[in-house]
Amino acid sequence: MSFPIVRNRRLRSSNALRNLVRETSLSVHDLIYPIFVTHGSQVKEEIGSMPGVYHFSLDLLEQELKEVTELGIQAIMLFGVPEHKDAHATSAHDANGIVQQATRLIKQWFPELLVIADTCLCQFTDHGHCGVVHFDEKKQRAEILNDPSLELLVKTAVSQAEAGADIIAPSNMMDGFVYAIRQGLDEAGYDQVPIMSYSVKFASSYYGPFREAAHSTPKFGDRKTYQMDPGNAREALREAESDVVEGADFLMVKPAMAYMDIIRTLRDQFDLPLVAYNVSGEYSMIKAASLQGWVDEKSIVMETMIGFKRAGADLIITYFAKDIAGWLK
Protein backbone atom coordinates (compact mmCIF):
# COMPACT_ATOMS: atom_id res chain seq x y z
CA MET A 1 0.00 0.00 0.00
CA SER A 2 1.05 3.59 -0.59
CA PHE A 3 -0.28 7.14 -0.52
CA PRO A 4 -3.04 8.16 0.15
CA ILE A 5 -3.66 5.15 2.42
CA VAL A 6 -0.17 5.37 3.89
CA ARG A 7 0.51 8.80 5.40
CA ASN A 8 3.72 8.89 7.43
CA ARG A 9 2.93 12.35 8.78
CA ARG A 10 0.11 10.87 10.91
CA LEU A 11 2.70 9.96 13.55
CA ARG A 12 4.19 13.49 13.63
CA SER A 13 1.03 15.50 14.30
CA SER A 14 1.70 16.43 17.95
CA ASN A 15 4.56 16.60 20.40
CA ALA A 16 3.03 13.83 22.53
CA LEU A 17 2.66 11.55 19.51
CA ARG A 18 6.22 12.27 18.36
CA ASN A 19 7.48 11.42 21.86
CA LEU A 20 5.47 8.20 21.83
CA VAL A 21 7.02 6.86 18.62
CA ARG A 22 10.56 8.24 19.01
CA GLU A 23 13.06 5.47 18.23
CA THR A 24 16.15 6.98 19.85
CA SER A 25 16.37 8.81 23.17
CA LEU A 26 19.01 10.38 25.39
CA SER A 27 19.30 10.05 29.17
CA VAL A 28 21.55 11.72 31.73
CA HIS A 29 22.75 8.18 32.49
CA ASP A 30 24.31 8.08 29.01
CA LEU A 31 26.72 10.95 29.81
CA ILE A 32 30.32 10.99 30.99
CA TYR A 33 31.77 14.39 31.95
CA PRO A 34 35.51 15.07 31.39
CA ILE A 35 37.28 17.06 34.11
CA PHE A 36 40.83 18.48 34.16
CA VAL A 37 42.59 18.58 37.54
CA THR A 38 45.84 20.32 38.35
CA HIS A 39 48.10 21.31 41.23
CA GLY A 40 47.94 24.55 43.18
CA SER A 41 45.16 26.23 45.12
CA GLN A 42 42.18 28.37 44.18
CA VAL A 43 42.68 27.43 40.54
CA LYS A 44 39.61 27.58 38.31
CA GLU A 45 41.14 28.58 35.02
CA GLU A 46 39.07 28.63 31.85
CA ILE A 47 40.66 26.94 28.85
CA GLY A 48 40.93 29.54 26.11
CA SER A 49 39.77 27.39 23.21
CA MET A 50 37.03 25.66 25.25
CA PRO A 51 34.67 28.23 26.78
CA GLY A 52 33.00 26.82 29.89
CA VAL A 53 35.68 24.17 30.51
CA TYR A 54 38.20 24.69 33.31
CA HIS A 55 41.31 23.46 35.04
CA PHE A 56 40.46 22.81 38.70
CA SER A 57 42.81 22.61 41.64
CA LEU A 58 41.81 20.01 44.19
CA ASP A 59 40.53 22.53 46.72
CA LEU A 60 37.87 23.76 44.25
CA LEU A 61 37.00 20.36 42.81
CA GLU A 62 34.39 19.36 45.41
CA GLN A 63 32.04 22.21 44.53
CA GLU A 64 32.23 21.39 40.83
CA LEU A 65 31.47 17.72 41.49
CA LYS A 66 28.60 18.64 43.80
CA GLU A 67 27.02 20.41 40.85
CA VAL A 68 27.74 17.43 38.58
CA THR A 69 26.11 14.93 40.93
CA GLU A 70 23.11 17.15 41.61
CA LEU A 71 22.48 17.19 37.85
CA GLY A 72 22.32 13.39 37.93
CA ILE A 73 25.57 12.73 36.05
CA GLN A 74 26.96 9.44 37.35
CA ALA A 75 30.42 9.27 35.75
CA ILE A 76 33.38 11.56 35.13
CA MET A 77 36.50 11.10 33.02
CA LEU A 78 39.52 12.36 34.95
CA PHE A 79 42.48 14.03 33.22
CA GLY A 80 45.50 15.25 35.15
CA VAL A 81 47.83 18.17 34.40
CA PRO A 82 51.00 17.51 36.45
CA GLU A 83 53.67 19.78 37.89
CA HIS A 84 56.51 17.49 36.79
CA LYS A 85 57.16 15.91 33.41
CA ASP A 86 59.98 13.65 32.28
CA ALA A 87 60.83 11.23 29.49
CA HIS A 88 59.29 8.25 31.30
CA ALA A 89 56.11 9.89 32.65
CA THR A 90 56.96 9.05 36.27
CA SER A 91 54.26 11.37 37.62
CA ALA A 92 51.63 9.34 35.74
CA HIS A 93 52.15 6.34 38.03
CA ASP A 94 53.21 8.21 41.17
CA ALA A 95 50.97 7.23 44.10
CA ASN A 96 50.74 10.95 44.89
CA GLY A 97 50.25 12.04 41.31
CA ILE A 98 47.52 14.53 40.52
CA VAL A 99 45.07 11.93 39.16
CA GLN A 100 45.66 9.62 42.14
CA GLN A 101 45.19 12.45 44.65
CA ALA A 102 42.03 13.62 42.92
CA THR A 103 40.62 10.10 42.76
CA ARG A 104 41.07 9.49 46.48
CA LEU A 105 39.36 12.77 47.33
CA ILE A 106 36.48 12.18 44.93
CA LYS A 107 35.79 8.73 46.37
CA GLN A 108 35.70 10.29 49.87
CA TRP A 109 33.34 13.08 48.83
CA PHE A 110 31.12 11.21 46.38
CA PRO A 111 31.61 7.46 46.73
CA GLU A 112 28.86 6.65 44.24
CA LEU A 113 30.28 8.86 41.48
CA LEU A 114 32.13 6.69 38.94
CA VAL A 115 35.70 7.82 38.40
CA ILE A 116 37.04 6.85 34.97
CA ALA A 117 40.79 7.43 34.89
CA ASP A 118 42.27 8.34 31.54
CA THR A 119 45.34 6.11 31.32
CA CYS A 120 47.80 7.75 28.99
CA LEU A 121 51.28 9.22 29.20
CA CYS A 122 51.25 12.25 26.90
CA GLN A 123 50.34 14.80 29.61
CA PHE A 124 53.14 13.42 31.80
CA THR A 125 56.02 13.13 29.31
CA ASP A 126 58.31 16.06 28.54
CA HIS A 127 58.18 15.15 24.83
CA GLY A 128 54.36 14.92 24.69
CA HIS A 129 54.14 11.45 23.17
CA CYS A 130 52.07 8.56 24.52
CA GLY A 131 54.99 6.23 25.10
CA VAL A 132 58.74 5.72 25.39
CA VAL A 133 60.73 7.59 22.76
CA HIS A 134 63.89 6.12 21.22
CA PHE A 135 66.09 7.86 18.66
CA ASP A 136 67.07 5.40 15.93
CA GLU A 137 70.56 6.36 14.75
CA LYS A 138 70.30 4.36 11.54
CA LYS A 139 66.99 5.84 10.47
CA GLN A 140 67.82 9.22 12.01
CA ARG A 141 64.41 9.59 13.52
CA ALA A 142 62.60 9.23 16.82
CA GLU A 143 60.39 6.19 17.29
CA ILE A 144 57.74 5.41 19.91
CA LEU A 145 58.62 2.01 21.39
CA ASN A 146 55.58 -0.19 21.86
CA ASP A 147 56.48 -2.80 24.48
CA PRO A 148 58.46 -0.56 26.88
CA SER A 149 55.48 1.83 26.73
CA LEU A 150 53.18 -0.99 27.86
CA GLU A 151 55.20 -1.37 31.06
CA LEU A 152 54.59 2.28 31.96
CA LEU A 153 50.91 2.03 31.09
CA VAL A 154 50.47 -0.98 33.36
CA LYS A 155 52.17 0.86 36.23
CA THR A 156 49.88 3.84 35.65
CA ALA A 157 46.71 1.73 35.48
CA VAL A 158 47.55 -0.16 38.67
CA SER A 159 48.34 3.07 40.55
CA GLN A 160 45.01 4.55 39.41
CA ALA A 161 43.13 1.45 40.54
CA GLU A 162 44.94 1.54 43.89
CA ALA A 163 43.78 5.15 44.32
CA GLY A 164 40.18 4.03 43.83
CA ALA A 165 39.44 4.54 40.13
CA ASP A 166 36.30 2.62 39.16
CA ILE A 167 37.22 2.23 35.48
CA ILE A 168 40.58 2.34 33.70
CA ALA A 169 40.48 4.02 30.26
CA PRO A 170 43.71 3.51 28.28
CA SER A 171 43.96 5.92 25.35
CA ASN A 172 47.45 5.35 23.95
CA MET A 173 46.83 2.98 21.00
CA MET A 174 49.90 0.83 21.66
CA ASP A 175 49.54 -2.72 20.34
CA GLY A 176 48.52 -5.10 23.12
CA PHE A 177 47.69 -2.38 25.63
CA VAL A 178 44.42 -3.95 26.78
CA TYR A 179 46.02 -7.35 27.34
CA ALA A 180 48.96 -5.86 29.26
CA ILE A 181 46.74 -3.70 31.49
CA ARG A 182 44.23 -6.50 32.11
CA GLN A 183 47.04 -8.80 33.16
CA GLY A 184 48.61 -6.11 35.36
CA LEU A 185 45.35 -5.24 37.08
CA ASP A 186 44.52 -8.90 37.70
CA GLU A 187 47.94 -9.66 39.16
CA ALA A 188 47.62 -6.63 41.46
CA GLY A 189 44.25 -7.85 42.75
CA TYR A 190 42.05 -5.51 40.69
CA ASP A 191 40.39 -8.15 38.54
CA GLN A 192 36.99 -6.47 39.09
CA VAL A 193 38.10 -3.11 37.64
CA PRO A 194 36.78 -2.75 34.06
CA ILE A 195 38.76 -1.42 31.10
CA MET A 196 37.16 1.20 28.86
CA SER A 197 39.44 0.98 25.85
CA TYR A 198 39.99 3.83 23.43
CA SER A 199 39.73 1.09 20.83
CA VAL A 200 39.48 3.16 17.69
CA LYS A 201 41.30 6.44 18.16
CA PHE A 202 42.08 8.31 14.98
CA ALA A 203 45.01 10.68 14.38
CA SER A 204 42.59 13.57 14.23
CA SER A 205 42.74 17.32 13.83
CA TYR A 206 39.80 17.59 16.24
CA TYR A 207 42.09 17.21 19.28
CA GLY A 208 43.66 20.68 19.16
CA PRO A 209 41.79 22.30 22.06
CA PHE A 210 42.34 19.24 24.27
CA ARG A 211 46.08 19.49 23.76
CA GLU A 212 45.89 23.05 25.05
CA ALA A 213 43.82 21.86 28.01
CA ALA A 214 46.08 18.89 28.87
CA HIS A 215 49.36 20.60 27.90
CA SER A 216 50.07 17.53 25.79
CA THR A 217 51.09 18.77 22.33
CA PRO A 218 54.00 16.64 21.02
CA LYS A 219 57.31 18.49 21.05
CA PHE A 220 58.23 16.86 17.73
CA GLY A 221 56.57 14.81 15.03
CA ASP A 222 52.99 13.58 15.35
CA ARG A 223 51.07 10.55 16.60
CA LYS A 224 50.33 8.95 13.26
CA THR A 225 52.50 5.88 13.93
CA TYR A 226 50.16 4.80 16.73
CA GLN A 227 46.82 6.57 16.23
CA MET A 228 44.72 5.44 13.27
CA ASP A 229 44.60 6.86 9.76
CA PRO A 230 41.24 8.67 9.29
CA GLY A 231 40.76 6.93 5.94
CA ASN A 232 40.62 3.42 7.42
CA ALA A 233 37.41 1.66 8.43
CA ARG A 234 38.34 -2.01 8.11
CA GLU A 235 41.36 -1.39 10.32
CA ALA A 236 38.99 -0.05 12.96
CA LEU A 237 37.36 -3.47 13.09
CA ARG A 238 40.75 -5.13 13.58
CA GLU A 239 41.63 -2.73 16.40
CA ALA A 240 38.29 -3.30 18.14
CA GLU A 241 38.47 -7.06 17.71
CA SER A 242 41.95 -7.10 19.28
CA ASP A 243 40.60 -5.27 22.32
CA VAL A 244 37.65 -7.62 22.66
CA VAL A 245 39.94 -10.65 22.58
CA GLU A 246 42.35 -9.02 25.06
CA GLY A 247 39.61 -8.40 27.63
CA ALA A 248 38.18 -4.91 27.11
CA ASP A 249 34.88 -4.23 28.89
CA PHE A 250 33.93 -1.16 26.81
CA LEU A 251 34.88 -0.09 23.28
CA MET A 252 35.27 3.53 22.23
CA VAL A 253 35.36 5.54 19.02
CA LYS A 254 37.22 8.86 19.11
CA PRO A 255 36.40 11.40 17.65
CA ALA A 256 32.67 10.90 17.17
CA MET A 257 31.14 13.40 14.74
CA ALA A 258 33.25 12.57 11.68
CA TYR A 259 33.27 8.86 12.50
CA MET A 260 29.62 7.90 13.01
CA ASP A 261 30.02 5.25 10.33
CA ILE A 262 32.69 3.64 12.52
CA ILE A 263 30.36 3.76 15.54
CA ARG A 264 27.69 1.98 13.51
CA THR A 265 30.19 -0.59 12.18
CA LEU A 266 31.35 -1.46 15.71
CA ARG A 267 27.77 -1.57 16.98
CA ASP A 268 26.87 -4.08 14.28
CA GLN A 269 29.88 -6.29 14.96
CA PHE A 270 30.34 -6.30 18.75
CA ASP A 271 28.02 -6.51 21.76
CA LEU A 272 30.18 -4.70 24.34
CA PRO A 273 29.02 -1.29 25.60
CA LEU A 274 30.09 1.29 23.01
CA VAL A 275 31.32 4.79 23.89
CA ALA A 276 31.47 7.82 21.60
CA TYR A 277 33.92 10.57 22.58
CA ASN A 278 32.55 13.97 21.55
CA VAL A 279 35.99 15.56 21.53
CA SER A 280 37.33 19.03 22.23
CA GLY A 281 37.38 20.30 18.64
CA GLU A 282 33.76 19.27 18.17
CA TYR A 283 32.84 21.08 21.38
CA SER A 284 34.79 24.21 20.44
CA MET A 285 33.25 24.48 16.97
CA ILE A 286 29.72 24.39 18.34
CA LYS A 287 30.61 26.79 21.16
CA ALA A 288 32.24 29.26 18.77
CA ALA A 289 29.28 29.19 16.38
CA SER A 290 26.78 29.59 19.20
CA LEU A 291 28.70 32.49 20.73
CA GLN A 292 28.53 34.20 17.32
CA GLY A 293 24.79 33.61 17.22
CA TRP A 294 25.10 31.44 14.12
CA VAL A 295 23.49 28.32 15.64
CA ASP A 296 21.16 27.52 18.53
CA GLU A 297 23.49 25.77 20.96
CA LYS A 298 20.91 23.66 22.80
CA SER A 299 19.21 22.44 19.62
CA ILE A 300 22.39 21.57 17.78
CA VAL A 301 23.98 19.84 20.78
CA MET A 302 20.92 17.71 21.45
CA GLU A 303 20.62 16.79 17.77
CA THR A 304 24.29 15.79 17.74
CA MET A 305 23.87 13.60 20.82
CA ILE A 306 20.85 11.87 19.31
CA GLY A 307 22.97 11.28 16.21
CA PHE A 308 25.61 9.49 18.29
CA LYS A 309 22.95 7.36 19.94
CA ARG A 310 21.24 6.57 16.65
CA ALA A 311 24.60 5.52 15.19
CA GLY A 312 24.86 2.97 18.00
CA ALA A 313 26.66 4.60 20.94
CA ASP A 314 25.51 3.52 24.39
CA LEU A 315 27.52 6.20 26.24
CA ILE A 316 28.82 9.63 25.29
CA ILE A 317 31.84 11.42 26.73
CA THR A 318 31.11 15.11 26.22
CA TYR A 319 32.13 18.50 27.59
CA PHE A 320 28.47 19.45 27.12
CA ALA A 321 27.38 16.91 29.78
CA LYS A 322 26.39 19.46 32.42
CA ASP A 323 24.45 21.54 29.90
CA ILE A 324 22.69 18.47 28.53
CA ALA A 325 21.80 17.22 32.02
CA GLY A 326 20.25 20.60 32.80
CA TRP A 327 18.30 20.67 29.54
CA LEU A 328 17.00 17.13 30.13
CA LYS A 329 15.71 18.22 33.53
- Provide the annotated active-site residues: 201, 254
Residue 298 DSSP code:
H
Q: Which has the closest alpha carbon to 120: 86, 154, 161?
A: 154
Q: Is the Cα dihedral 172, 176, 182, 188 positive or negative?
A: negative
Pairing mode of beta strands 274-278, 250-254 = parallel
Name the 3-class secondary structure at 197. strand
Partner residues linked to 115 by β-bridges: 76
Q: State how beta strands 75-81 and 250-254 pair.
A: unpaired
Report the C-alpha gap between 96 and 155 in whole angstroms.
13
* Local structure of residue 290 (DSSP, 8 states): H
- C-alpha closest to that of 35 among 84, 97, 98: 98
Q: Strand pairing of 250-254 and 196-201?
A: parallel
Cα–Cα distance for residue pair 285/291, rounded to 1 Å: 10
CB 150 within 8 A of CB 111: no
* Cα distance between residue 251 and residue 196, in whole Å: 6
